[in-house]
Amino acid sequence: MLNRALRETYPPGSTFKVVTAAAALEDGLYTDIDAKTKSPLPFRLPQTSQNLDNEGNIPCENASLREALRYSCNTVFGKISDDLGNQKMIDAADKFGFNKEVFTPVRADASIYPKDNPPQNAMAGIGQASNRATPLQMAMVASAVANDGKLMQPYMVAERQAPNLDVIYTHEKEQLSQPLSGENAQKLQQMMETVVDKGTGTNAKIQGVTVGGKTGTAQHGLNNSENPYAWFISYAKTDSGSPVAVAVVVEDSDANRDDISGGGLAAPSRRRSCRQSSTARSDATHTGLHIGTRGYRSDIRYRLRADQVVRGR
């Protein structure tokens, strides 16, 4: 059976806008998340006569980073990716773990942010074109934001015991990279929490828990002919303990196309997962990978603590 949380890559859709926002903040392209951006409406893809559209009539012209993430503005983040250029976008994605295999110690396929031409780079900046990611990778993105910019090595085994229960191995936590500064991570936390509070991710709200997230509805198939993938990445935190980061992908070939969205399908699934985590912190520590398949529908989740303590169960 294919371990799709580790071995399958999907277009991440709008969940990747979290990485694009981080790239903009780290580069200094934008520093104030509530200031207007230079984002025309419509935004024409570079070197083409094709406009990049938004999903519906939403307020994206010159929208701030916070509002652009709240409404999931393709035009704003496509323009940011184009302004930064392909190499800076690759560098930013690399710091989150893209373009290399991850070992937990089980091998996870490399997620890919590709070298590409300007129009394709603009599309990759909103999680489309040749941009592909595993659920584990996008959980790592959410965890790095929740962990104040520190990306830790994910792992599935915290310790091993001999038959007499003596501990013969204990995993030592290891930082992989620092994709963004603590200050910029906190700005991105504010943006993701706005998404859940009053944006596209309100279905992920949990009473008494601070939740930040980003929805995604990723186009799939030639000319978007197949049902899209519904994504949601997020973290949940309380006043005590480490935040829990989650990535959910829903594949549903039997669903009505118009009913598929990250906020409609994936976010409620994530809420159920994290409600369990927030009420039983030890369970979150011990839970690694969960894959559920029902008929043609596959609900793929990867859940881990922001400090990446992940044990196999």
Distance of CA 272 to the CA centre of its chain: 18
Residue type, 227: N
Burial of 99 per CB tally in 10 Å (0-12, 13-18, 19+): middle
Per-residue pLDDT of the chain (313 residues; tens, 9 = 90+): 788 899 999 999 999 999 999 999 999 999 999 999 999 999 999 999 999 999 999 999 999 999 999 999 999 999 999 999 999 999 999 999 999 999 988 999 999 999 999 999 999 999 999 999 999 999 999 999 999 999 999 988 889 999 999 999 998 889 999 999 999 999 999 999 999 999 999 999 998 899 999 999 987 666 666 678 899 999 998 887 778 899 999 886 454 434 444 445 545 544 444 444 332 222 222 223 333 333 333 445 556 556 543 333 2
Encoding tokens for residue 211?
A: 């939740």
Type and span of the H or E element at 65 = helix 65-71
Cα–Cα dist 143/211, whole Å: 12
φ/ψ of residue 165, rounded to 5: 75, 5
14 is catalytic: yes
Q: What is the pLDDT of residue 13?
A: 95
**Residues in a beta bridge with 51:** 44
φ/ψ of residue 139, rounded to 5: -65, -35
Encoding tokens for residue 249?
A: 């992908």
Burial of 128 per CB tally in 10 Å (0-12, 13-18, 19+): buried
Cα–Cα dist 235/245, whole Å: 4
Cβ–Cβ under 8 Å, residues 45 and 120: no
Cβ–Cβ under 8 Å, residues 112 and 89: no
Q: Please name the residue that has the structure tokens 């690694």.
A: 288
Q: How far is CA 151 from CA 9, 79, 109, 146, 171, in A?
A: 20, 26, 18, 10, 16
DSSP-based helix, strand, coil % in the chain, nearest 5: 35, 25, 40
Q: What is the pLDDT of residue 218?
A: 86
Instruction: Determine which one of 14, 81, 242, 269 is catalytic.
Output: 14
**Residues in a beta bridge with 211:** 236
Where does the chain show beta strands of DSSP type E? 43-44, 51-52, 102-103, 107-108, 151-152, 159-161, 167-170, 175-177, 210-220, 226-237, 244-252, 289-294, 297-305
Q: What is the pLDDT of residue 250?
A: 87
